[in-house]
C-alpha cells in the first residue's frame, strides 16, 4: 500500500512508479511468491491508474492477464483485471483521438521521447483488444464470482466497441469520434483518486446504534451457534 500512497501523494513520482511496476509485472516468476503478492497488487493498480505514463500499454495489459496470474488470490486478480480494463480504455481512446496535439499533452510525452501518435494504430489496437478478449474468456466462467463479474464487464465493453474500431480504419475521417461508451468509460477512469488519512474515520462522530466491528463479530458468533455452524 505504500506504493499506492506514494503514487497518490507525489505526482512527480508517478512516471518512475509505473516504470518500477512494469518491471515487477512482466516477471512471471514473481507470481509464485505469495509474499510478493501485496507488492504486485500495488504495482498492478499503479499501472492501470497511471497508464498515461506507460511506454508500452500492450506489454502492461499482457502482463496483467498472463496465465500465471491464476496463482494470485481472487481479490488481487480483480485488481489485475480492472487495471487491464483501464489500459484498454486509455489505448482505445487515444486511438480514436487521432490528434497529435491532444496526445502530446500527455505526461508521458512531456517526460520522454515516446511518441504515442505512432503507437496507437489499427493493428496495435486490434492486437490489444484480441489479446485482452482471449485472456478474459476463460475467466468468464470461473467460480470466483467477483473475478467473473469483472471479466464479463470488460468482455461486454469489447463487444460494444469492436465494430467501431473496424469502422474507423475504413473511414476517410482521420479523427473519427469515439462512441459514447468509450468516452463514458474514459470519464469514469479520469477522475483522480486522492489519499485518505489513516485516522480520518476517528474524526467522524459515531451515530447512536451504529454496529461496530465488535458487535458484528459477536452477532456472527451467535448466528453460527444458532444454526449449528460453529464447532464447540
Report the percentage of the chain scoring pLDDT > 70. 64
- Write down the mean pLDDT value for the chain: 79
| 46 in a structural domain | yes
Predicted confidence (pLDDT) per residue in 96-139, tens digit: 876 444 555 554 444 444 445 446 888 999 999 999 999 999 89
Q: When comparing pLDDT for 230 and 54, which is higher?
A: 54
How far apart are the C-alpha atoms of 135 and 170, rounded to whole Å? 27
Decide: residue 227, CB within 10 A, 0-12 exposed, 13-18 middle, 19+ buried. exposed
**Is residue 165 included in any domain, yes or no?**
yes
Residue 231 covered by a domain: no
Q: What is the mean pLDDT of residues 159-167?
A: 84
Tens digit of each residue's pLDDT (9 = 90 or more) over 204-231 = 666 666 555 555 555 555 655 665 544 5
Residue 61 belongs to a domain: yes
Query: Any idea which of 6-10, 79-83, 134-138, 171-175 has the lowest mean pLDDT?
Result: 171-175
Flag whether 232 is in a domain: no
In this structure, is residue 174 part of a structural domain? Answer: yes
Domain that holds residue 190: 2-226
Q: How far is CA 165 from CA 61, 117, 125, 168, 183, in A?
A: 18, 16, 8, 5, 14
Question: Which pLDDT tens digit goes with each residue over 57-92?
Answer: 999 999 999 999 999 999 999 999 999 999 999 998
Q: What is the pLDDT of residue 224?
A: 58
In a domain? residue 147: yes
Q: Does residue 191 belong to any structural domain of this protein?
A: yes
Q: DSSP assignment of 69-100, as one string?
A: GGGS-HHHHHHHHHHHHHHHHHHHHHHHH--H
Domain count, the chain: 1
Question: What pLDDT is stored for residue 122 in this prediction?
Answer: 86
Amino acid at each position: 500500500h505504500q506504493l499506492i500512497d506514494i503514487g497518490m501523494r507525489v505526482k512527480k513520482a508517478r512516471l518512475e512508479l509505473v516504470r518500477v511496476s512494469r518491471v515487477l509485472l512482466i516477471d512471471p516468476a514473481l507470481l509464485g511468491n505469495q509474499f510478493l503478492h501485496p507488492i504486485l497488487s500495488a504495482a498492478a493498480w499503479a499501472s492501470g491508474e497511471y497508464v498515461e505514463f506507460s511506454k508500452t500499454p500492450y506489454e502492461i495489459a499482457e502482463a496483467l492477464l498472463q496465465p500465471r496470474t491464476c496463482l494470485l488470490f481472487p481479490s488481487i486478480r480483480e485488481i489485475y483485471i480492472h487495471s487491464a480494463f483501464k489500459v484498454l480504455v486509455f489505448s482505445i481512446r487515444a486511438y480514436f483521438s487521432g490528434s497529435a496535439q491532444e496526445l502530446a499533452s500527455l505526461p508521458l510525452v512531456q517526460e520522454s521521447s515516446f511518441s504515442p501518435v505512432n503507437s496507437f494504430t489499427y493493428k496495435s489496437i486490434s492486437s490489444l483488444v484480441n489479446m485482452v478478449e482471449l485472456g478474459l474468456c476463460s475467466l468468464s466462467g470461473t467460480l470466483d464470482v467477483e473475478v467473473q463479474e469483472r471479466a464479463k464487464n470488460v468482455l461486454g465493453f469489447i463487444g460494444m466497441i469492436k465494430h467501431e474500431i473496424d469502422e474507423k480504419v475504413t473511414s476517410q475521417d482521420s479523427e473519427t469520434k469515439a462512441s459514447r461508451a468509450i468516452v463514458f468509460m474514459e470519464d469514469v477512469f479520469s477522475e483522480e483518486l486522492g489519499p485518505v488519512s489513516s485516522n480520518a474515520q476517528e474524526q467522524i462522530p459515531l451515530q447512536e446504534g451504529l454496529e461496530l466491528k465488535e458487535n458484528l463479530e459477536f452477532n456472527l458468533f451467535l448466528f453460527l451457534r444458532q444454526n449449528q455452524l460453529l464447532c464447540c
